[in-house]
Structure 1
Amino acid sequence: MTTTALRAGFRRGLIELRQSFTTIQDLWGYLFPTLIFLVVMILMKGSTIPGTTFSRGSMTLPSLIGASVGFNAMINTMQQLTLEREDGTLLRAKALPHGMSGYLVGKIVMISGMTLTGIVLLVVPGLFLFDGLEIDALTWVTLVWVLALGLVATLPIGAVLGSLFENPRTMGVVMLPVTALVAVSGIFYPIGELPSWVQGIAQVFPLYWLGLGMRSAFLPDAMAAVEIGGSWRAWETLGVLGAWAVAGLLLAPVLLRRMARRESGSSVAARREKALQRVPG
């Protein structure tokens, strides 16, 4: 990748991110999930974590921050790749020198920016609405490293999925298992309340560790008692997210190069024809 391609991709990502702040559809995409999450957490404020007096709503806030990082990075990356394969954007990028490198850098910048925006929209009101959170210098240090490693671990997963699915209408095939994974990853209730085999499955994937890492940043140390092993398991979080990051960074470029080689004018035209056939006449 040349420096020129890197700069061009970075500028492209910033432009696309800025454009997302000027369209009603994208703004609604930022605000609507945040409003839903805040309402759910407010309804949970009166409930406490079993064995403690700590509000379930307060515990859910950092968990949702972590889940949002993983979910948005994976789903938005996949969605962008599948949509832009169909409309020919990827083919045009492929035709330019180092075009695919610049394209991917742009998507990383844009999706990372979108993810950070969603986190800010969730954190700022959440800090005022929910009690019991502990904010100090260590909070921000933990937030930064978990966020950065979480993005590196989950963005390549989205790229892998985007390289495997050509049709944007197959998003539901991925959304259902990812949503189910969120449900069993201790985001809305302590994972210790779930059967041990479900706990084992959840701990294989990044979403659980992102939620755990964010809880360790914002919750008092006493709340570690309700976690698996009675601790925040920082080293395990680092290890699992790091393993996913390494695996994704090794696999994603291979699949993306293969995807790019297969792109042609005829393949784009064929996908457009199929899309038009689905539109009622």
Structure 2
Amino acid sequence: MNPSLFAARIGLSRGWIEFRQTVTNAQDLLFTIITTGALVLTLYFQRGSTVPGLELSLAAATLPGLLGLSLAFNGVIGAVGRLSVEREDGTLLRAKALPQGMLSYLVGCVVSLSLAAICGVVLVLAAGLFLVPELAGVGLGGWLTIGWVTVLGLTATLPWGAVIGSFARSPQAATGLSMLTFGGVAAVSGIFYPITALAGWLQVVGQAFPVYWLGLGMRSALLPDAAAAAELTGSWRPWQTLAVLLAWSVAGLLLAPPILRRMARRETGSLMQARRERASQRIG
């Protein structure tokens, strides 16, 4: 078997095992419940309000943005946090010692983090069926759109989270770097408001990143056609959404493995021990 295909197969198995461990770990499960509960509470408090000029509940208008932001956040921040912690505890050092180990590691991360993010989306949508009456009118085409936007959204963000995390020297630095990067991109993405409200050059910047297209794809699936009037060009642009998310996915999956391999080559037992000593000094 081709070594890369074999490594990818091992990564798939590893990702599934890690996901199962996540859903049975009390700390990870509590974090998922809290974050998902916060999104559901947002829908609950908005369920009685309507969008001015449209017969649409505020909860229905907010739901696509919540789903898109959740996927992007889990993709970028989840990968950064995972990489920084496993770099410090020696997981990366062990992975680089194996043939095609970094490819297998990356595939495993993508699988486990994707499954966790998809579970969050499913939970929010399940709650939305009770809190957002408009969801009952979403047809098969809308649900299929949610599916492919979710998959491409994760593959368009997770590898780039790994790339960002590879430049950080500690979990604390990784958190700061990723939050700063993600916050800046989200601010110009129009994830909760029409991007047309921003200056022209900010609209161009926002459309360059996958967060905007994640939100647009979710809105096209869950909102009525009349809501497209608030979008750029007055349409949902499904083919552009597909193309941009696919481009980010391919670029990330091609660039992340060599960047991670380059980072792993610099990893040594002494560097890992030095980071542990610095961490223990901060805690102490």
Q: TM-score, normalised by structure 2?
A: 0.91
- 2:157 equivalent among 144, 151, 154: 154
Displacement of 1:23 after TM fit? 1.6
Q: How many residues matched?
A: 280
Matched, 1:246 2:250: yes
| 2-structure distance, mates of 1:4, 1:203 | 36
After the TM superposition, which residues 170-249 of structure 1 pair with which residues of structure 2 at under 5 Å, given as runs?
170=173, 171-249=175-253
| 2-structure distance, mates of 1:127, 1:193 | 30
2:134 counterpart SS class: coil
| 2-structure distance, mates of 1:55, 1:117 | 25
- 1:122 equivalent among 121, 124, 146: 124
2:24 counterpart SS class: coil
1:263 counterpart SS class: coil
Matched, 1:18 2:20: yes
- Of residues 53-62 and 243-252 in structure 1, the stretch that sits farther from structure 2 once superposed is 243-252
Residue number in structure 2 paired with 1:273: 277
CA contact (8 A) 2:81 2:171 kept: yes
Distance 1:128 1:180, change over 3 A: farther
1:132 counterpart SS class: helix
CA contact (8 A) 2:80 2:178 kept: no
- Of residues 121-130 and 47-56 in structure 1, the stretch that sits farther from structure 2 once superposed is 47-56
CA contact (8 A) 2:76 2:161 kept: yes
Question: Structure 1: where are the runs of 5+ without partners?
Answer: none
| 1-structure distance, mates of 2:263, 2:46 | 44
Displacement of 1:180 after TM fit? 4.3
Displacement of 1:240 after TM fit? 1.9
Residue number in structure 2 paired with 1:56: 58
Distance 1:222 1:128, change over 3 A: same
1:179 counterpart SS class: helix
Q: Percent identity?
A: 53
CA contact (8 A) 2:157 2:249 kept: yes
| 1-structure distance, mates of 2:35, 2:236 | 27
Displacement of 1:160 after TM fit? 0.7
Residue number in structure 1 paired with 2:84: 82
| Residue identity opposite 2:243 in structure 1 | G
Distance 1:156 1:27, change over 3 A: same
Distance 1:248 1:102, change over 3 A: closer
Displacement of 1:183 after TM fit? 4.1
| Residue identity opposite 2:17 in structure 1 | I
Displacement of 1:2 after TM fit? 4.4
Displacement of 1:145 after TM fit? 1.8
| 2-structure distance, mates of 1:47, 1:184 | 25
Question: Structure 2: where are the runs of 5+ without partners?
Answer: none
| 1-structure distance, mates of 2:49, 2:180 | 28
| 1-structure distance, mates of 2:96, 2:177 | 27
Residue number in structure 2 paired with 1:135: 138
Residue number in structure 2 paired with 1:36: 38
| 2-structure distance, mates of 1:231, 1:225 | 7
Distance 1:263 1:257, change over 3 A: same
1:21 counterpart SS class: helix
Residue number in structure 1 paired with 2:171: 168
| 2-structure distance, mates of 1:195, 1:32 | 35
CA contact (8 A) 1:86 1:166 kept: no
Displacement of 1:84 after TM fit? 0.5
| 2-structure distance, mates of 1:92, 1:124 | 40
- Aligned-residue RMSD, C-alpha: 1.9
Distance 1:169 1:89, change over 3 A: same
